[in-house]
Structure 1
Amino acid sequence: MRAVVCQEAGGPEVLAVADRPDPSPGPGQLVVELAAAGVNFIDTYLRAGVYPASYPHVPGSEGAGVVVGVGDGVAGVAVGDRVAWESAPGSYAERVVVPADRAVPVPDGVPLETAAALMLQGLTAHYLVTSTYPVRDGDDVLLHAGAGGVGLLATQLAVARGGRVITTVGSAEKEELSRGAGAADVVRYRELDDVAADLPRVVRDLTGGEGVHVVYDGVGKDTFDASLASLRRRGTLVLFGGASGQVPPFDIQRLNRAGSLFLTRPTLSDYVVTRDELLGRAAELFAAVEDGTLDVRVGATYPLADAPDAHRALEGRRTTGKVLLVP
């Protein structure tokens, strides 16, 4: 089979397609013929060495496809079944070994590419707005990168729960996409002279001087100060990513001085700990796709051989919605 491999840490140029042995399923495992693999920021962190990885390294952890092999001890799954996953290392490959307990059945009414696009970003959006800070009717919400994969999904889910969503985006095209997902107000951050000073002022103007109840921030270093300053008293900052870089250490007394704020740094794995929780979240997302209340935007699809271009587009913030790789 073919897989995308990096022999060492580095930029997108270290990604290259190579022949690898066809995998066989071990106990408790499936082998799945890939229909699509998701491209995510964590893939770029592992490729670049921000997070430790062993080399040669096959990136990717998310995808969907059709089962072609079933290992010993696996029940309830058969060859030919359609499944998706969010935590199978080495997913940038034509065939992927997937732990059976992390494989999610995909309903017939959901295309496999849509399922692949939903697993990491959809599950992330779901836990953010339903569990980390459950959006309530009437809440004011600030969401950065509103036209990104998580942003478009989280906007729809937050609006469905009665939230009023303000997003930040980088262009007129992205503003249109964000408004289409239900954002009440959209701020183009490139038009601000100083994001840290100007964004909180704009947000307070939009919220009667109060600030928002919650900020969902996956950008990190470039937006962190503005996010804190945009919260109302006892507001919550949910820092779930660092697309612009990691937030440096800061004085925790800032939370006190800014109005007894809450700060949390969640990760998906802690919100899909059990199989029941994983299946429950995925089932709600798939049901929303099937009934037409959740639109999943696939912004770009690349062949495996063009994985470097996919990483460049993602890191350059030139993407909207989900980026996929296909065999």
Structure 2
Amino acid sequence: MRTVVHTRQGDPAQVLMLKEDPGPPPRPGTGQVLVRLLVRPVHPGDLAGVEGLPGLPEQRPPEVRTPGVEGMGVVESVGPDVRALRPGQRVAVFPAPGTWADFVVVAADRAVLVPEGVGDETAALMLVNPLTLLMLHRALENALGEHEGPVLQTAAGSSIGRLVSAAAVRHGLPLVNLVRGASGARQMRSLYPTLPVIATSDDDWREQVRHHTGGRPLQVVLDCVGGALTQDLVRLLADGGTLITYGRLGSGTTALEELPLVQRGLTVQGVTVWHWTHRTPDERAQDVAFALDLAQNTPDLLEVAARYDLADVRAAVEHARRPGKSGTVLLSSERSTGTREEAVR
């Protein structure tokens, strides 16, 4: 059994290592299933968990820790009291800490049957990002209230950013997209020609935002960049506006005391997919149904950048960090022949 582990926080390319254990895989307990994982994504949140959050003391794992919270595989065995699943079925799992391994034990209710016709790679991506989209949509609706917008989102070329753009086009949301550079802007314009796209590499990007909003201040900003960009985003917000933050892709820091929250009545709201587990079973079932529908009918929204063998985790991490990357990098438990990188689409 192969497992990617780290014993301390730091640069994933430096602290991650592959551990091989000749012993048998773990056994599922009551209400659990053992899943033989085939594919799992490299999400920004996975890397953030390895690196640690800026400004916080290093959190040393008890002994070793395995990254990953999502993946797709085959049920290997089931524990007592599991009736809905059986060995051999394809499932997607979330939340399932430790998916960067050949096997993972999860609660049976965290394993979702993969419909026929949905590919392995699509199934590996069909939970975290679509569920995050739903979490953001709810936060956005609450923040807008009776306002219709406009709304700005950062890192629009990211996997979640593209999902947000697709939803905005479908629902008529006045969304303005921010990307890092000109190439990303061209790509987003080709995908969503009705949505304005602005590159923050342009010196006048703030003026461009104001132009595309008709001079109206922003009611909401969806931000997964943070860092030094936060000051500029807050300046673009209307008084009483909301900054919804759900990631930390940017560099630098902005102290909370530097933001005019009280003077301008601003709200900063954090959103994480981990809070999805607090929803009721019926609500979670509805959300999973949405994710399944997206995977079956619009799988192109769950784009894959490349696929690497689990043993090549450091190369996968390097690719996941590349500026302008399109799609999500996957880690596979199936060793490929030929080159180590298998470009997809």
Query: Which residues in structure 2 correspond to 1:284-299 (within 5 Å)?
Result: 284-292=290-298, 295-299=301-305
Q: 2:41 touches 2:331 (CA, 8 Å); kept in 1? A: yes
Other structure's SS at 2:257 match: coil
Where does residue 132 of structure 1 map in the other structure? 139
Name the counterpart of 1:195. Answer: none
- CA–CA distance in structure 2, aligned partners of residues 252 and 229 of structure 1: 12
* Structure 1 segment 154-193 matched on structure 2, within 5 A: 154-182=164-192, 184-192=195-203
1:92-241 equivalence runs, <5 A: 92-129=100-137, 131-134=138-141, 138-182=148-192, 184-192=195-203, 198-241=204-247
Match of 1:311 among 317, 320, 323: 317
Shift of 1:152: 1.1
1:77 matched to which residue of 2? 85
* Residues 203 and 212, structure 1, Cα contact 8 Å, conserved in 2: no
* TM-score, with structure 2 as normaliser: 0.84
Q: Does 1:28 align with 2:31?
A: yes
1:39 aligned onto 2:42: yes
Superposition misfits of 4+ residues, deviation over 4 angstroms: 135-138, 245-248
Cα deviations by residue, 1:116-167 (Å, 9 ceiling, x for unpaired): 12322221122102x1112799532211111111111121123222212211
2:20 aligned residue: 19
Q: Mean Cα displacement is larger for which, 99-108 or 173-182?
A: 173-182
Structure 2 stretches of 5 or more lacking a match? 334-345
Q: Identify the residue that residue 340 of structure 2 maps to in structure 1.
A: none
Q: Does residue 8 in structure 1 map to residue 17 in structure 2?
A: no
SS in 1 for 2:226: coil
Change (3 A) 1:292 1:231: same
Relative to structure 1, the CA distance from residue 226 to residue 7 in structure 2 (aligned partners, 3 Å threshold; closer, same or farther) is same
How many Å separate the matches in 2 of 1:118 and 1:132?
A: 20
What's the CA shift string for 1:171-227, capped at 9, x where partnerless? 3432233234426111111223xxxxx443321111111122321101111321122
Amino acid at match of 1:205: H
Shift of 1:9: 2.7
Match of 1:265 in 2: 270
> Whole-Å Cα distance in 1 between the matches of residues 171 and 129 of structure 2?
18
Q: CA RMSD in A?
A: 2.5
Task: Provide the secondary structure at the position in 2 that maps to 1:84.
Answer: strand
Q: Which residue of 2 aligns with 1:326?
A: 332
Moved more, 154-163 or 42-51: 42-51
Structure 1 position 115, deviation (Å): 2.0
Q: Aligned partners of 1:166, 1:142: CA distance in 2, in Å?
A: 5
Where 1:83 maps in the other structure, the secondary structure is strand
Q: Letter of the aligned partner of 1:14 in structure 2?
A: V
- SS of structure 2 residue aligned to 1:190: coil
CA change 1:235–1:171 in 2 (3 A) is same
CA distance in 2, matches of 1:49, 1:256: 29
Whole-angstrom distance in 2 between the partners of 1:206 and 1:63: 39
Letter in 1 for 2:181: S
* Percent of residue pairs bearing the same amino acid type: 31
Letter in 2 for 1:8: R
Q: Is the 8 A contact 2:227 2:252 kept in 1?
A: yes
Which residue of structure 2 aligns with residue 48 of structure 1?
51
SS at 1:324 equivalent = strand
**Within 2, Cα distance between the matches of 1:33 and 1:169?**
37
Distance between the aligned counterparts of 2:43 and 2:299, measured in 1? Answer: 24
Cα separation, 2, equivalents of 1:40 and 1:54 = 23
